[in-house]
Chain A
Amino acid sequence: MTSSPQAPVLAVDHLTVSFEADGGLVPAVRGTAFELHRGRVLALVGESGSGKSVTATAVLGLLPDNARVGGSIRLNGEELLGTTPARLRQVRGGEIGTIFQEPMTALNPVFTVGAQIAEAIRAHREVSRRDAGDQVVRLLTTVGLSDPARIAGAYPHELSGGQLQRAMIAMAISCDPVVLIADEPTTALDVTVQAGILELLRDLGRRLDTAILLITHDMGVVADLADDVVVMKDGEVVETAPVLDIFEAPQHEYTQNLLQAVPRLPELSLDSPDSPGTDFDGTALVRIEDVVVTYQGRHRAGAVRAVDGIDLHIEAGEVLGLVGESGSGKSTIGRALAGLVPVTSGRLEVAGIDVAAASRKAFRGARTLRGIRTRMGIVFQDPASSLNPRHTIGASIAEPLTLHSDLRGPALQQRVAELVDAVRLPADFAGRYPHEMSGGQRQRVAIARALALNPALLIADEPTSALDVSVQAAILRLLKDLQTRFGFGCLFISHDLAVVEQLADRVAVMHHGRIVEQGPTARVLRAPQQLYTQRLLAAAPVADPALQRRRRQAWYELTTQP
């Protein structure tokens, strides 16, 4: 061994990447530099378009043909840029293992999980099919899967996201790589699953003495896992520092803003002090009593109870945060409120109108539902797909007005202009098309459209999940201001506890179609009574390494207790 313990495993220096497009060059990475060391985790942090994923792809030599790469990428002193394709193939999967963001799509649907891992082994090692199979089972055990033989024989669609991501990690470490690239490894997963995956990565890095390159936009994940942090913006590194320094004394203005924008959870206490919530004495705007929503399964699979007998109410002018993991039924509630899903049984009233009954009657109910919809606005998660790309912003906002009101001509234009102004977009945006705007701007348009008819109720289903944190912060501020100004009641659906904390007066936690716990936001998020809520809260990583260490401990205790 010639390399000293201090020598970096992977050294990236003056890396530049630009893409040829329409005869010109579009720069994506402009001079990135960082070093990876054995047993340490380096986080590459930045918002969308910062060039962090392009950097990782460049390290793997997997950039598309129109990319122009400059600078240097050295693996144990060996230059990877400009090396032969055969050597790069040895490196990929052999010396550098990779974990991708979306485990559901990162594995080939037509092959078993075991076969795909075995293939990774056999691409680099001369082993028999049978030996590779044995190794697969051992690897799956290593990544904490309790039934490795069954999982090896399963197809991707038969497994959960958490199981698949563990299988991906097993594949990535199958050839004992010296570097592990984890590109947003937990972004697509629920928080409780995420906590387990982060724990596994931390453990593997330590046990196998691997250098980990963690690419993420989530400062909570950074605080949880990273030793060193590189902050990127517009293809450039703006700050490099150990993790504690980044969080305690960020030097660059961008880092400071980024950290400022991260919504924070209050310190978790598992004792139960009582804190008073806000009292509403108005009439209930939304009344949900013992509501059941079932989806018909195929054949004799039977019906699935997405919502299984819940009671909720929203007062006029109140924001109710509905929290839960994927499959908990939280979005189904929102859709049932809007009359988009038939309610199987129970009472569901919006502003005194029986939505449950209307939703069950196909034709006669339609008129009632149309009436209710003038009283509510809906904002969905993905603004890019909920706005018609062929309509101008102004036309999109005017649509509910032309459908449900008598406003026409100059009066209509006047109202649209008011709405555009209310969501703080420049007046000339009314003439633009969705593709000319950023994600945050599009979401503002969606909000303006939802508020066009002065609704009594706004249903916001994960309105900020697709946005960068700094944009998310602005949208949340806007929603809060608009809510204060117009006084609408709001059902705010989110998987992100910290986001809900910023906006909601009361919080309801859903799990397996039932409400586990509900109460004033401060009480539920600070001193949860139910074990599930406690686990959910403890699993959510916060952007503070010291605090996160304590929370991790709490999570560990909660999950290991019987």
Chain B
Amino acid sequence: MRRTRFLAGRLVSMLAVLVVISLLTYAVFFLLPSDPAQMSCGKPCTPDGLAQASAFMGFDKPWWQQYLDFVAGIFRGRSFGRGPAAVHCSAPCFGYSFQLNQPVTQLIWARIPVTFSIAIGAAALWLVLGVSLGVLAAVRKGTAIDRSAMAFAVAGVSAPVYLLGLLGILLFGFTLDLVPVSGYVPLTESPVDWAWHLVLPWCVLALFTSAVYARLTRGQMLEVLEEDYIRTARAKGLTERKVVGWHALRNVLIPVVTVFGSDLGQLLGGAIITERVFSMQGLGSLLLQAVGTGDLPLVLGTVLFSAFLVVLANFAVDVVYGALDPRVSETSG
């Protein structure tokens, strides 16, 4: 009951954040000097032709009307132009790319499998790797294991993805010829090839981020191991494995989950550098391409979609958080 109210409250604030983000993105859209109508008008561009293009795209209306049309399009779909030349963009319509002659939703949809494959695999890998390393370092504090784990963490944090990625490609792709260096095979086509193509991006992304998680986990674990309830757990005769892996880890994971949620959300919106390095056609490269060609409807749609993912991931964190920590639904929100 209390929990439902807590989650309902979070849902409402999540929607509010989305409205604000969409407004802000729309504002950017209007402040930018480039004009999609101008671009599709062709050369030479007559004032008449420009007005026509503008009307076709709906840019002749006042800004708030355009925003409302955009929002309505998400729920109902919308059409541009009239008569036989009209293009329809069905719900949920996040705009229409007049350069590519495709609805933005469709463009995003095509890129999702690639980005999600990269993000989810990498996130799972870094979570497991980072947390295990952190726990191990904390339990063996001051030993060689601790010191090497933390040395790895420093190295990992300071090595950027493009460097690690290129080195990885050079070493494992070309010198050792173990894994493919670019491209993407859909999961439905061949799961083995899918994974095989993704191993390198996963590792490169995970290596960097797991270093951050290892440090976070180690610090949290050292703090939690000093708590009174850990002493209680030991005093009732539990094995060290249960004390650390059950009593301590549950408490350590609470802050780790918070960070994980927003990291994953961000990554789902497109791993721009990683996609570029491994020449994969994900959301990141879509955005990059849209910005490069000045395709404003596409930029708007992609940014909004990424923001939506981040907000959604944070909501998921709240749900998991409540399950991990029984105090949370009362003390916050």
Contact = CB atoms under 8 A, between A and B. Distances in A.
Interface stretch (A90-98, A132-140, A357-365, A492-500): A90-98
Interface residues of B, number: 22
A120 B238 CA distance: 8
A512 interface: no
Name the residue in A62, A105, A108, A171 with the highest tally of chain B Cβ atoms < 10 Å from its Cβ: A108
Given A109-B251, A155-B327, A120 B236 contact: yes
Interface string B214-239: 00000000000001110111111111
B237 A94 contact: yes
B292 interface: no
A155 B227 CA distance: 17
B180 to A, nearest CB: 44
Contact of B236 (A92, A110, A111): A92
22 contacts: A60-B234, A62-B235, A89-B239, A92-B235, A93-B238, A94-B237, A98-B232, A98-B235, A98-B236, A100-B231, A102-B228, A106-B229, A107-B232, A108-B229, A108-B247, A109-B229, A109-B325, A109-B326, A110-B250, A111-B250, A157-B326, A168-B232
Interface of A: 60, 62, 89-94, 98, 100, 102, 105-111, 116, 119-120, 123-124, 155, 157, 168, 171
Contacts of B327: 109, 155, 157
B324 to A, nearest CB: 7
A93 B324 CA distance: 26
A155 B328 CA distance: 12
B237 A90 contact: yes
Contacts of A109: 229, 251, 325-327
Given A60-B235, A62-B235, A123-B237, 19 more contacts: A93-B237, A94-B237, A98-B232, A105-B229, A106-B229, A106-B231, A106-B232, A107-B229, A108-B229, A109-B251, A110-B251, A110-B254, A110-B325, A119-B236, A120-B237, A123-B238, A155-B326, A157-B327, A168-B232
Interface of A is mostly: helix
A92 B236 CA distance: 5
Contacts of A89: 237-239
A100 B232 contact: yes
B229 A92 contact: no
Interface in B310-329: 324-327
A92 B243 CA distance: 13
Nearest to B324: A110
Given A90-B237, A93-B236, A110 B231 contact: no
A124 to B, nearest CB: 6
Nearest to B332: A298
A163 to B, nearest CB: 16
Interface in B252-286: 254
Interface in B176-231: 227-229, 231
Contacts of A111: 247, 250
B192 to A, nearest CB: 40
A155 B251 CA distance: 14
A435 B227 CA distance: 23
Nearest to A108: B229
A320 to B, nearest CB: 35
B228 A106 contact: yes
A171 B235 CA distance: 10
A93 B326 contact: no
B239 A110 contact: no
A62 B327 CA distance: 29
Nearest to A88: B237
Nearest to B323: A110
A123 B327 CA distance: 27
Contacts of A62: 231, 234-235
Nearest to B250: A110
Contacts of B242: 123
A141 B117 CA distance: 54
A102 B227 CA distance: 11
B221 to A, nearest CB: 15
Contacts of A107: 229, 232
Nearest to B234: A62
Given A90-B237, A93-B236, A123-B236, A100 B326 contact: no
Contacts of B239: 89
B232 A110 contact: no
Contacts of A119: 236, 238
Nearest to A174: B236
A261 to B, nearest CB: 28
Contacts of A157: 326-327, 330
Nearest to B251: A110
Contacts of A100: 228, 231-232, 235
A93 B235 contact: yes
A93 B242 CA distance: 15
A94 B238 CA distance: 10
